[in-house]
Amino acid sequence: MATDRVLFPRVHLAEVEDQSWCPSWLREHSHKALVRTWRTSVSARGSPAVQACQILVDQLGGLASATQYQFVDACAGAGGPTPLIEQRINEQLTAAGLERVRFVLTDLWPDVKAWKGITSRSENISYIEQPIDATKGVRLAGQEEKECRMFNLSFHHFDDPAAEKVLKGAVESADAFVIFELTHRTLPALLNTTLIILSPFLTTLWDWWWSPMHLFFTYLIPIIPLFYAIDGYVSCARCRTADETWSLLTRHTGLSVREWELKNGWELTSGQQVVLPPFGTLYWYVGVKKENL
């Protein structure tokens, strides 16, 4: 599979949303925009969430294998693609005569208000109200079921030491993990990010027409578009290639990626797919225990 050329080295700069002083109304605007991005369908293959669901099922070995998992959204934000992925995968499982799967929303900054709305619409989604740190590797699935840990547009938020803990925790306490990113250090990702930066001038009027604060800081003093610009381009600078991601697992072992896979019994795969033409590309990185394939 051809991959987009990386234009510059990874730099872990600071995002506004990661700061404790970031206003909640900015986070809410960002989270709602991400949900909209996952739902937008301009491709014959469906929305980014629908395409991510298919990638997930394929990488886990098909529906018969996927039905064995509980899926934990480790950095859920306002829910992201999880409600759409849950709906899509469970529709496919039901059609195939297989048992439905459950999803759990967790985050260091739980958006309980958004999650209550999500769980009220699906009995297969639940949430943990208390903050959960993804670097701690907390297993939520029971011993009789498998756990797939999901990182939807969130893994780039971790610096290398934290990201190493996240992957180490996933390998030690889960049975699979998947990382999805829409930003990267590539030309298509940078162009797509530029379009997203301009999007508040359209979407704020639709999503936040009732909020004088959001309207004021979009159209009169454009702090929200500026916020999108800073965090959007910083997100691009923070994203990792497959080699950079897998090196977090191998760098203290002296092993190659293939040697690490053989020693630990995992299979690591990656790829990319255009999900929001013309530029929006989904980059994915998946690890699965071989016994689960």
DSSP 71-113: EEETT-TT-TTHHHHHHHHHHHHHHTT-----EEE--SS--HH
**What 8-state DSSP symbol labels residue 71?**
E
Nearest to 145 by CA among 67, 205, 197, 56: 67
Per-residue pLDDT for 1 more than 80? no
Structure tokens at 57: 């099922």
Pairing of the two strands 280-289 and 266-276: antiparallel
Nearest to 78 by CA among 110, 44, 38: 110
Structure tokens at 67: 């039905």
Question: Which one-letter amino acid corresponds to residue 153?
Answer: L
Please calculate the CA angle 82-100-182 and round it to the nearest 5 degrees. Answer: 20
DSSP string, 3-18: -PPB-S-------GGG
216 band by pLDDT with thresholds 50, 70 and 90: very high
The three-state secondary structure class of 240 is: coil
Question: Which one-letter amino acid corresponds to residue 100?
Answer: R
Cα distance between residue 171 and residue 137, in whole Å: 9
Please calculate the CA angle 61-62-63 and round it to the nearest 5 degrees. Answer: 135
Cα distance between residue 212 and residue 277, in whole Å: 33
Nearest to 270 by CA among 282, 260, 254: 282
Taking residues 8-31, report their average pLDDT: 93
2-11, pLDDT tens digit by residue? 688 999 999 9
158-211, pLDDT tens digit by residue? 999 999 999 999 999 999 999 999 999 999 999 999 999 999 999 999 999 999
Per-residue pLDDT for 32 more than 90? no
